[in-house]
A and B are shown apart, each in its own frame.
Chain A
Amino acid sequence: MSKAMIRTGRLPFSKKGMREDVGRRSYRSAWGNTIIVIFMGIIAIFMALPLIYTITTAFKPINELFLYPPKFFVKNPTLKNMKDLFATMSSSYIPYSRYLFNSIMVSVLGTAGHVFIVAMAAYAFAKHSFPGGKFIFNMIVFSLMFSGYVTGVPRFIIMSKMKILDTYLALVLPMMASSLGLYLLKQFMEQMIIDETLESARIDGASEFRIVWNVVMPCVKPGWLTLILLSFKDSWGDIGSPSLYIQTESLKTLPQAMSYIQQGTIARMGAGAANSLLIMLPPIIIFIITQSNVIETMKSSGMKG
């Protein structure tokens, strides 16, 4: 042990070392840092380029879209692709704004419903023990181990029996029952809420429902902000379930409009990129707002094995 200390040249028993150098960064080499910065820079460029390309393409005028060789950046940015999206498609039988409206409806309704029902359930699982509670919660955790894809086809059958196929409900209801959100919020509540707070609320005569909304939810704001992010991004950009459960053109969502745009006569690449831009921006904006809360929530996401 002491040998190692001498080798690093930072002796913890020297006065200076005691005060400053026994921090965690003391043994980081400058070389290592440089290499890491370069490596991360390259990866960051790889991650960002397709997104930037989407943005530049969305603002390219038609002559730049079909330029050879293709250029990455845009020279004369234009809003024409955006206008095309709304204008040209409004003359077709389903206006583009309808797809946009559907996407907003589904994502907002689904996310709100998800947070609403998960808040109550997560509170019960986190702060009460009741017969069957553990068993049901374990089932929910187990369901994290297979993707919604597995249940796609049987869900289709169940929805057709429930007669909700081809309605908003077909997209909204499954989204509300996502198990990841419940798991994360339950874990977070378990860590954040102290039993004494609940006790004193009960003594004041608050019902359990009131406790959820007036006592617990204000304390776990990072938790439900995370749920909003995860649930919104899942539904806003989702192509899988809408293409399975929705056939009526006027109920389709933005990602589905993509195939329609690409078949159309309008300059498809530019309008397609404009559509992609509209799909990509809202989740990113939500993440910018909620980032620190999301990471705070993830601190308690761990599983015991």
Chain B
Amino acid sequence: MSRPVNAMKKTLSDRFNLKPVLKEMKRKRVCYALIAPYVILFFIFTVLPVIVSIVLSFTEYNIIEKPTFIGWSNYIQLLLDDSVFLIAVKNTFIFALITGPISYFACLIFAWLINELRPKLRAWVTLIFYAPSISGNVFLIWKYIFGGDAYGLLNSFLMDWGFINEPILWLQDANINLKVIMVVQLWLSLGTSFLAFMGGLQGVDRTLYEAGAMDGIRNRWQELYYITLPSMKPQLIFGAVMQVTASFAVSDICQQLAGFPSPLYSAHTIGLHMMDYGTIRYEMGYASTVAVILFLITTVTNSVIRKAVKPE
């Protein structure tokens, strides 16, 4: 009986005795100097914004007047009364659930196949696959490819070959524009995770493959499943985080391709809803509420996925 009490006392006194900690901090003060510039900026532009939006989400605030506390009413209005927000949530989840996994597996499969090529060819193919994601707003060219009139490249091609008789309004038709944007989104999505997988694949210990061949691995699928994927699990987790984060944030591309607001809000996303209230209507409290919801959705999804992929 007395032993656990003693043990607890010890940990408590350890916990609250700050002297050794302070001493250690003093001894390591150069470390704080090293991290200070980065951490100060990180705090101002990442940590503080999260705190600010949580606080402001309970207020009404238009930047000019002081914020007034209004409790949960932003959340209630957002979740129960804002039908446009529900469209945004639906679209965001369509993006996250469809383009998210597809792009993740595309990154993995392409990285894996490219990795089999001879080094010189591999470098060029890597460049071709990665280039769209680093080309800035070049995706605007898709506006001309998916142009709504007969001058649009795809329309003119399809009409030329007799597949269709009239031009299709790829980006204006509320029934198809989301699908078109998804294609463009997929085109853009071989980004950081793709490179991480390339790195992971090249980091796999070669001798494992030889041992695997000895142990009776018969084809490339078995090799992938039994050797390659288990060896690059950390990269797979990192890639998942990158891809989930990116797919929940889809906004700019919708705005640029389908216009803002898009016809019948057909390409509206949570990110755009936030920007709408934050930068156009200057309802900062309400915009912060949207930001908090997006923050929660993204981080919770990421944590769940990280737990799920976690090594045994």
Contacts and interface: CB of A to CB of B under 8 A. Distances in A.
Interface residues of A, number: 114
Contact of B235 (A152, A176, A238, A301): A301
Contacts of A54: 138, 141
Interface residues of B, number: 116
Contacts of B144: 53, 57, 70, 269
Given A50-B141, A131-B28, A305-B309, A299 B210 contact: no
Interface stretch (B4-12, B172-180, B211-219): B211-219
Interface stretch (B32-40, B78-86, B97-105): B32-40
Interface string B103-138: 000000010011010000001011111111011111
A240 B249 CA distance: 12
A251 interface: no
B24 A131 contact: yes
A15 interface: no
Interface string B45-71: 111111011001000000100000000
Contact of B140 (A24, A121, A258): A258
A209 interface: yes
A239 B241 contact: no
Interface stretch (A80-88, A90-98, A135-143, A192-200): A135-143
Contacts of A239: 136-137, 252, 256
A250 interface: no
Interface in A33-56: 36, 39-40, 43-44, 46-48, 50-51, 53-54
A118 B35 CA distance: 8
Contact of B291 (A7, A151, A233): A151
Q: Name the residue in A47, A153, A182 with the highest tally of chain B Cβ atoms < 10 Å from its Cβ.
A: A153
B30 interface: yes
A157 B63 contact: yes
Contacts of A44: 125, 128-129
A17 to B, nearest CB: 10
B199 A32 contact: no
A305 B128 CA distance: 31
Contact of B45 (A7, A155, A237, A292): A155
Nearest to A12: B214
Contact of B125 (A1, A40, A145): A40
A154 B53 contact: yes
Contacts of B131: 47-48, 51, 280, 284, 287
A149 B136 contact: no
Contacts of B159: 69
B72 interface: no
Contact of A233 (B134, B275, B288): B134
B187 interface: yes
Contacts of A151: 45-46, 49-50, 53, 291
A139 B47 contact: yes
A95 B107 CA distance: 40
Contacts of B234: 301-305
Interface string B267-281: 000010011001100
Contacts of B192: 180, 230
A145 B302 contact: yes
19 contacts: A4-B217, A12-B213, A22-B214, A24-B206, A50-B142, A120-B37, A130-B32, A136-B39, A144-B245, A145-B303, A147-B246, A149-B274, A176-B38, A176-B41, A209-B34, A237-B134, A237-B138, A301-B234, A303-B237
Going nearest first, the 3 A-B pairs with the smallest beta carbon separation are: A237-B136, A302-B234, A298-B199
Given A157-B52, A298-B200, A303-B241, 16 more contacts: A27-B220, A51-B132, A51-B141, A118-B38, A133-B35, A142-B299, A149-B271, A150-B291, A152-B278, A154-B52, A179-B42, A182-B42, A237-B138, A240-B251, A298-B195, A300-B203
